[in-house]
Amino acid sequence: MIDIAVLNKLNAPTREERIANLKEVLKDTVFPPMVLQYINNHIHTTYSFSPYSPTAAVYAARMEGLCTAGIIDHDSISGAEEFLEAAKLVDMPVTIGMEARVSMEGTRLEGRRTNNPDQVGVSYMTIQGVPHDKIATLTEFFRPYQQARHERNRKMIAKINALLPSMDLDYDRDVLPLSMAAENGGVTERHLMYALAKKLTQQVGKGEGMVKKLSEMGLNLSEKQTAQMMDTEYPFYEYDLLGILKSAFVPQIFIDATDECPKLKDMVKLCADVDAFLCYAYLGDVGNSVTGDKKAQKFEDDYLDDVFECLKEEGVKSVTYMPTRNTPEQLQRLRGLCDQYGMFQVSGEDINSPRQSFVIKAMENPLFANLIDATWRLIEHENR
């Protein structure tokens, strides 16, 4: 995490202020050398959910030694132009894209769980290597889907209030101001939980009071979670609280996404029209979590061959995955299928919380050199 004072400047309310502040900050900044293996094409910003504005994300990535970085936000590409502008100032090549949940209705994966922990028949996919003159096209395409998501979010807020009447959350008052919705940013379940976290902190404070309140709400905190709730000086206290609340309450209030998920055939056509890469995001079954932070759950591994057959049938030609999140056996199988089906392989690991490092250490393994090459291909593609 970069210096908090710098972060606050780079998270100023408007894009113009953020860029102006970056120019000032750079006068006194000495960046570390770039590491050629350090790439990350999946950095979330405040245009979905993240402690980093697009400007702050670029600065933080460069400060950790990344030689290139990529913006990916949920249902939105509205932070991309700022990301590009900031990247030019720090002299770092970048790539732009976005992420969406896609309905698999009408395909062989209809009604089956793939890479979505919350819902069957809906798959996460990324749009990457977006030509810079097509940003507005994507924004217009996703506008009605964003509106549909707002409607579902309002219903989930009602469910939170039914579960926890004393919270009295209001979507317009408590949630939207935490987002960039006014500038076509995405609003996710994390925003709902963040609003709940802020309301809880207002009501009971931090430390002992919060631990007691969470216990009264039926939550059994781990030793690590209790320590986080007792750390009243941590500047991102509500982010830790959000993580606790998300695990406990999202399953209780979740409503299946329908109208906000474009059909796969429409996504394939969109990406062909804008000349971008539509990528299926491989998740893989979680047994003993490689990263230690995921609960055991079955995803697409039992029928991964079927997933690739579906991608081939529907015209999806790229796969993105996260080497740190999977076992060597999963990665070997996945990469073999990518080769067999002629899939373009892309990588990136979600950055959406302050405790995460932007660095993907797995990229130091020569096995993944193709993913570094792919990043430069994305950058070259979108700058043609």
CA distances for 278 relative to 77, 185, 268, angstroms: 14, 20, 7
Q: What is the mean pLDDT of residues 307-326?
A: 97
How is residue 174 annotated by DSSP?
I
Half-sphere exposure of 352 (CA within 13 A, CB side): 18
How far is CA 329 from its chain centroid?
25
**Cβ-contact 19, 55 below 8 angstroms:** yes
Spell out the residues 6+ positions from residue 309 whose beta carbon is closer than 8 angstroms to its own.
108
Task: Write down the pTM of the prediction.
Answer: 0.96
Question: What's the CA gap between 36 and 372, in Å, rounded?
Answer: 8
CA angle 230, 231, 235 (to 5 degrees): 140
What is the token pair recorded at 156? Answer: 């989930």
DSSP string, 35-102: EEEEEEEEE--TTSS-S--HHHHHHHHHHTTEEEEEEEEETB-TTHHHHHHHHHHHT--EEEEEEEEE
In which band, very low, low, confident or very high, does the pLDDT at 226 lie, cut at 50, 70 and 90? Answer: very high
- What residue ranges do the domains of the chain occupy? 147-253
Residue 294 has pLDDT above 70, yes or no: no
Q: What is the mean pLDDT of residues 267-271?
A: 99
Q: Which long-range contacts (CB under 8 A, 24 or more apart) does 323-329 make?
A: 323/347, 323/360, 323/362, 323/363, 323/365, 323/368, 323/371, 324/290, 324/291, 324/349, 324/360, 324/361, 324/362, 325/283, 325/284, 325/290, 325/291, 325/294, 325/349, 326/282, 326/284, 326/290, 327/284, 327/290
Half-sphere exposure of 59 (CA within 13 A, CB side): 30
Residue 291 has pLDDT above 60, yes or no: no
pLDDT number for residue 338: 99
Read off the pLDDT of residues 149-161 as tens digits, 9 standing for 90 and up. Answer: 999 999 999 999 9
Closest listed residue to residue 107, CA positions, set 299, 303, 255, 257: 303
Percent of the chain scoring above 70 in pLDDT: 98
pLDDT number for residue 1: 83
Read off the pLDDT of residues 51-78 as tens digits, 9 standing for 90 and up. Answer: 999 999 999 999 999 999 999 999 999 9
The distance between the two most distant Cα atoms of the chain, rounded to a whole number of Å, is 57
In which band, very low, low, confident or very high, does the pLDDT at 292 lie, cut at 50, 70 and 90? Answer: very low
How is residue 125 annotated by DSSP?
E
Count of CB atoms situated within 10 Å of the CB of 365: 11
Read off the pLDDT of residues 163-205 as tens digits, 9 standing for 90 and up. Answer: 999 999 999 999 999 999 999 999 999 999 999 999 999 999 9
Task: Please count the residues of the chain.
Answer: 384
